[in-house]
Structure 1
Amino acid sequence: MTIGILECGAPPEPLRARFGGYGAMVQRLLGPHRETAIVDVPGGALSAGTPDFDAYVVTGSAAGVYDDLPWIPGLIGFLRQVKGRAKLVGLCFGHQAMAEAFGGAVVKSPKGWGLGLQRYEARRRASWMDGAASVMVPALHQDQVVVRPPGARVTLASAFTPYAGLDYGDAVSFQFHPEFPAAFATALIEARRDRFGALADPAIASYGRPHDCARIGQWIGRFLDAPGALSQAGDV
């Protein structure tokens, strides 16, 4: 299986030099045995013609799906085009882009920032999940999916993020960041502390607790490795 990592943004340059870009973080999450290629979406790689991959992972981004940026409509159209032909995984912005592409809606939430390690409860389990009742995973977002796309089912949820995990059968997505190492997540909050105000210190402190990033990486791996559509989407 070959996987195209649709890189939709980049960390601040000092952090990129220390930790690598979002595409590299996804590569580490997937593991060294995966054959991957990073596709620069804001740089116009999709409009130049993307090679066919067996699967695509859509990364995070500082952009919002509603932003007036020239590459976002191309990404949304590409996701619609490849759905059903290749497996899709979305992370944070990727989760939102997939929801927007497949009939849902995304807004800048009046709830504010989801920041630091967050707990998400398992709802309806897909075959690629295990028996965990909940998971703790890094989050960094203000945008949220507020309308569930038709046919998608909710796999993970919290009171703050009701649509934290979505399963389309041939595609899965998550509002959080399992690819973020704790050291990177901490450094990113420090770099953008002025945006987060009083949320910054509790979020940084949360990274002293155990997390489930490796578990989510295993879930994604099982989804990618399983033949065909892995679950039947349905109502929650």
Structure 2
Amino acid sequence: MHIGILQTGTSPDAMRPVHGDYSDLFERLLAGRGLTFSTFDVEHMHFPEGPEACEGWLITGSRHGAYEDHPFIAPLEDLIRAIYAANVPLVGICFGHQIIAKALGGKVEKYAGGWAVGPQQYDFAGRPVTLNAWHQDQVTVLPEGAEVCGSNDFCANAALLYGDRAYTVQAHPEHTPEFFVDLAKARRGIVPDAVLDPALARRDTPLDDIYLADQIARFFTERTLA
């Protein structure tokens, strides 16, 4: 199955030679599951011709806010609505989670409670799931048709399922512990030390990235999480 990665940001320059770019992180996360990939750098206005250009779509994280005014935001929202209307499976991670909700009528805001950084535990339909997070923005109002399928006390709308059309997650299953540590070094000063240092102390917490990778692949190929 051919998946189009809609890349909405880039890894920090110093990290790219070691970890690759955002698209590389997802290709590694989803390797061995019968998926092939093409990347479209939509942050720099390189868009696919339309929803049918690939058999499924994945929107990456970004340093940008979904509510900010950047040239790529409006055409990306148009593409999201077109993909959704064409019933082509769509997955969004972090910024992808947020921009899909916004494009479909929800609301994204900078969360008053601050940052979620590093390993976080979520409730996914009764299953505890631990993933690395890196966000201050959250989906605060759900669009019509979105069902919460993952949450915790800090992030009520941490994963959303839109029937068989879209599946989105606020956390970063593609962030390995090594990537998280290097990102923390690169972004120190943006995230308060009082948040960052305890998160780094939890850096070796076992993650459920394989579980999320399986869920994403199953959603693409079977249009379900079950």
Query: For the superposition of Structure 1 and Structure 2, which TM-score range results when normalised by the shorter chain?
Result: over 0.9
Equivalent residue number for residue 156 of structure 1:
150
> Per-residue deviation at 1:84?
4.1
Equivalent residue number for residue 20 of structure 1:
20
2:161 aligned residue (167, 170, 175):
167
Query: Is 1:4 aligned with 2:4?
Result: yes
What are the superposed Cα offsets for residues 51-99 of structure 1, whole Å, 9 maximum, x if unpaired? 7111000000000011110001110110001114210000000000000
- CA RMSD in angstroms comes to 1.4
Equivalent residue number for residue 209 of structure 1:
205
Q: Secondary structure in 2 aligned to 1:194?
A: coil
Unaligned runs of 5+ in 1: 124-131, 232-236
Q: Secondary structure in 1 aligned to 2:148?
A: strand
Distance across 1 between alignment mates of 2:207 and 2:176? 10
Aligned length: 220
Structure 1: 4+ residue segments shifted above 2 A: 48-51
> Per-residue deviation at 1:121?
0.7
Query: Is 1:99 aligned with 2:73?
Result: no
Task: Check conservation: 2:218, 2:224, Cα contact below 8 A.
Answer: no
Q: Secondary structure in 1 aligned to 2:143?
A: coil
What are the superposed Cα offsets for residues 29-49 of structure 1, whole Å, 9 maximum, x if unpaired? 111442110110011112x73
Q: Secondary structure in 1 aligned to 2:108?
A: strand
Alignment-mate amino acid for residue 113 of structure 1? W
Same amino acid, percent of matched pairs = 37
TM-score by length of 1: 0.89
Alignment-mate amino acid for residue 43 of structure 1? H
Equivalent residue number for residue 59 of structure 2:
58
Alignment-mate amino acid for residue 92 of structure 2? G
Unaligned runs of 5+ in 2: none
TM-score by length of 2: 0.93
Equivalent residue number for residue 172 of structure 2:
177
Distance across 2 between alignment mates of 1:177 and 1:57? 13
Task: Check conservation: 2:121, 2:130, Cα contact below 8 A.
Answer: yes
Task: Check conservation: 1:190, 1:200, Cα contact below 8 A.
Answer: no
